[in-house]
Chain A
Amino acid sequence: EFVLTQSPGTLSLSPGERATLSCRASQSINNNYLAWYQQKPGQGPRLLFYGSSTRPTGIPDRFSGSGSGTDFTLTISRLEPEDFAVYFCHQYGSSPTFGQGTKVE
C-alpha cells in the first residue's frame, strides 16, 4: 500500500513567518504525480500544486512546491492570515492516496 507521511502534524507560526511542510512517500512516485491542497473548515480542498511544483493559475507565488521521488516539500515564504489552514499532499497515480495533513495554526 502506498503511504504518504506528512510532517509536522501541526505547525504553529505567526503571520510573516516561513512555513515548510514535508510529505514523504513509502515508495517513489512515478512522473511526480504529487499534488498539494489547502483546506479550510467547511470547504472543499483547493489545489495548490500538481506535478510536485506546477502552480495552477491564481495561486499566489508565496507558495512553492518542490521534490521528486519520495520526498516533497511545500513552502509558504511569508504567511498571510488567510494561509492558516490544513494542507494535504496527494499522490494521484494508479492507486491514489492522501497524507494525513499538516495544520498551520
Chain B
Amino acid sequence: EVQLVQSGTEVKKPGESLRISCEGSGFMFSSYWITWMRQIPGKGLEWMGRIDASDSFTKYNPSLQGQVTLSVDKSISTAYLQWSSLKASDTATYYCARYSGSYIAPDSWGQGTLVIVSS
C-alpha cells in the first residue's frame, strides 16, 4: 500500500526554526517528485514547491522562494520542509504528496502536519 506519513503537530514561536517530514512507503520513493502544499484554516490549497527524490532538484513557488527549503533523504524515503525563521503567517496545515512528473497528478497525499506559530 502506498503511504505518505507526515510528522506530528508543531507549536512554535515566531523566529524559531522548524523541519517537518514526510516518509514514503509502498513505492519506489526515488522515482517520484515530492510536492508540498499548505492550507490556511478554512482556505484553499497553495502549491509550495516540489523536489525530485532522485537528485534533489527543486522547483519553488516564486511567491515563497527563499522562505522555505525542501530537501530529501532518499536512503530513508523521507522528504523535508524547513523554515529558518517562522512567522505567524506560516500557521497552516502542510501536506506532502507524491507526483510522477507526468500526466498523472499528485495521487497519494500525506495526512497533513499542522504548524501553529504564536507568541
Contacts and interface: CB of A to CB of B under 8 A. Distances in A.
Interface of A: 31, 33, 35, 43-47, 50-51, 54, 56, 88, 90, 92, 95-101
Given A31-B103, A50-B103, A96 B47 contact: yes
Contact of A45 (B46, B95, B103): B95
Contacts of A96: 35, 47
A56 B105 CA distance: 10
24 contacts: A33-B103, A33-B105, A44-B95, A44-B109, A44-B110, A44-B111, A47-B106, A47-B108, A50-B103, A50-B105, A50-B107, A51-B103, A51-B104, A51-B105, A56-B107, A88-B45, A90-B45, A96-B35, A96-B47, A97-B47, A98-B46, A98-B47, A99-B44, A100-B44
Contacts of B45: 45, 88, 90, 98
Most buried by A among B37, B45, B46: B45
Interface of B: 35, 37, 43-47, 61, 95, 97, 99, 103-112
A92 B37 CA distance: 12
Nearest to B4: A44
Main SS of chain A's interface residues? loop
Most buried by A among B37, B46, B105, B110: B105
Given A47-B105, A47-B108, A101-B44, 14 more contacts: A44-B110, A45-B45, A45-B109, A47-B106, A50-B103, A51-B103, A51-B104, A54-B103, A90-B45, A90-B105, A92-B105, A92-B106, A97-B47, A99-B44
Contacts of A33: 103, 105
